[in-house]
Amino acid sequence: MAASAALKPSTRTQLMQAGRHILQAHGFQGLTVRAVAAAADANLGSFVYHFGTRDAFVAELIEEWYAPMMSRVTSIDSAASPIERLRLAIVQIVDFVAENESFIGHLFTAALSGDRSTRSFLGSFAGRHPRVLLQLIGESQVAGQIVDEDPLQVACFLMASVGLPRLIAAGWQGPPLLPKSFAAAAGRIARDRDCILQRLDWALRGLSHRTPR
């Protein structure tokens, strides 16, 4: 009996687990304090004790989800050349997005609806993996491997070429805007890993060629 009690997850862990399950099934709008506490078989006082507010709880769920992303893009092999590390970092982001499409869709939907926690998280992006990409772009420029232009401009080009179609496909939850057959083909290309990596290689190849002003 004592051994079973020792193995039982803490109330905090149970609340986090309940939050993940509710989010997966109902999105961020389903993450009410009462729903999470009930799913975790905990009382409202326990929720307040561990997290204080619903916003703080949601923020912690998001950070827990996002932490592996930062770990991936900051643990690239330092022996690789700058442009190789840039490519590897982007591939890590592409794969993370593919693995977390449902969460990302919920995240953008909630932010667009005015949810404070998701909007706060998206507002903090500049200091997260985009900062790492800008650093890698700068190192690639110093090494003479890509054009010496504003790193943010280069990052925007890479996002438009590589990431934007995938993010739109993952994040759009509204009614269809395009003919069904075209939307299906575009969605497949946006999501297909080989197509994404092909766009990435095209973009990096283009950035490696200096064009006259």
Within a domain: 59: no
Within a domain: 58: no
Residue in this structure with the two tokens 């890698």, named with its chain if needed: 136
Within a domain: 129: yes
Report whether 129 contacts 73 (CB < 8 A).
yes
Please give the angle made by the CA atoms of 115, 117 and 119, to the nearest 5 degrees.
65
Within a domain: 60: no
Within a domain: 2: no
pLDDT of 203-213, one tens digit each?
999 999 765 44
pLDDT of 136-167, one tens digit each?
999 999 999 999 999 999 999 998 888 777 66
- Structure-block tokens of residue 46: 């326990």
Residue 178 pLDDT class (50, 70, 90 cuts):
low
DSSP code at position 126:
G
> Do 90 and 34 share a structural domain?
no
- Structure-block tokens of residue 60: 């912690």
Residue 67 pLDDT class (50, 70, 90 cuts):
very high
Residue 179 pLDDT class (50, 70, 90 cuts):
low
What pTM does this model have? 0.84
Domain span at residue 44 reads: 8-52
Report whether 134 contacts 125 (CB < 8 A).
no
Q: How far apart are CA 125 and CA 205, in angstroms?
A: 27
> Do 171 and 69 share a structural domain?
yes
> Do 40 and 84 share a structural domain?
no
> Do 188 and 102 share a structural domain?
yes
Report whether 36 contacts 15 (CB < 8 A).
yes
Structurally, how many domains does the chain consist of?
2
- Count CB-CB contacts under 10 A for residue 127: 8
> Do 77 and 21 share a structural domain?
no
For the chain, percent of residues with pLDDT exceeding 90:
71
Q: How far apart are CA 111 and CA 120, in angstroms?
A: 9
